[in-house]
Amino acid sequence: MTFDEALPVIFMALMGISMLVYVVSDGYDLGVGMLMPRATPAEKDVMIASIGPFWDANETWLVLGVGILLVAFPKAHGLVLTELYLPVMLMLIGLILRGVAFDFRVKAKAVRKPMWDWLFFTGSTLASATQGWMLGRYISGFGEGWNYPLFAAAIAVALPMAYVLLGATWLIMKTDGELQERAVRWARIAWAPMCGGLVLISMATPWISETVRERWFELPSIIALSAIPLVTAILLVAVRALLGTSIVRGQVAWLPFTLLIVVFVLGFLGLAYSLYPYVVIDRLTIWQAASSPAALKVILIGVCISLPAIAAYTAFSYRVFRGKATDLRYA
């Protein structure tokens, strides 16, 4: 494969990694937002403080991923946006609600705070559900028929549950005391629905797509691919076991969150294998949708500048604000 032929693959990998980082990083703060109604007013302040330094940077990865889709795969961008125009609009409304509520609640009078908390919860839930719907429609290649919307609706329910579990384990890592105890209970409650949704969607995916079915169940691929669900199951059982112990409140409070990140990475690898070489499954390959090699080379220069800058800023913010969250302060 020449460098010109490899360029679309490079950009597809960069876009996929950007979306994976977004799902994991913004996933936990969306999960924290959906857990807000379960907390006391004082705990809500700590929950907001735990994600405050990070949520803006987290959403930058979404902008990067969509930007790569737009400039590197314009044909796919047009097709995807046409099919997902309404859910994209609803997701943006949810993200806007979150941003407005986040900034206004910290300066609002006590009587107004519940309204902003409710809007933060609503925005988080709306963004999470629409992301699940879009993922379901994308995986199915935007197929027509009753089964395709049903599949997308199932992911629209399952993805928020995964975010809630991720958010709860984030709070276990970032808080202590009564809020940490609550976070452990929330994680236990979210664990079973998340696992159940993951199993059902894994069973439904080969049913909804013949291409995926052939990829998953042909030899020798099925032998190698079996490692993904096996390791995922082991990790999820380990997370549940940790949630039932006292050590999760101490030095290994970070471990459930880390194990869930590995689960998301494994899911991403399985999805990437299922989709390749398509940008839109069964409709557009990477090379059919890509911009010209000359354009991709110019775009690559910009990506080589912006991607390290975003990664460095993200790493720096997580390093500076590591440790337990403190009481919310806003000057």
Domain ranges of the chain: 3-320
pLDDT tens digits for range 121-155: 999 999 999 999 999 888 888 888 778 888 889 89
Average pLDDT over the chain, rounded to an integer: 88
CATH topology of domain 3-320: Formate dehydrogenase/DMSO reductase fold (1.20.1630)
Q: Encode 286-297: b = buried (16+ Cβ within 10 Å), e = exposed.
A: beebbbeeeebe
- Does pTM surpass 0.85? yes
What pLDDT is attached to residue 296? 92
Q: How confident is the model at residue 214 (pLDDT cuts 50, 70, 90)?
A: confident
Rounded average pLDDT over 85-114: 87
Q: Determine the Cα–Cα distance for residues 306 and 6; give it in Å rounded to an integer.
A: 20
Q: How confident is the model at residue 203 (pLDDT cuts 50, 70, 90)?
A: confident
- What distance, in Å, lies between the first and last C-alpha atoms of the chain? 56
Burial of 145 (0-12, 13-18, 19+ CB in 10 A): exposed
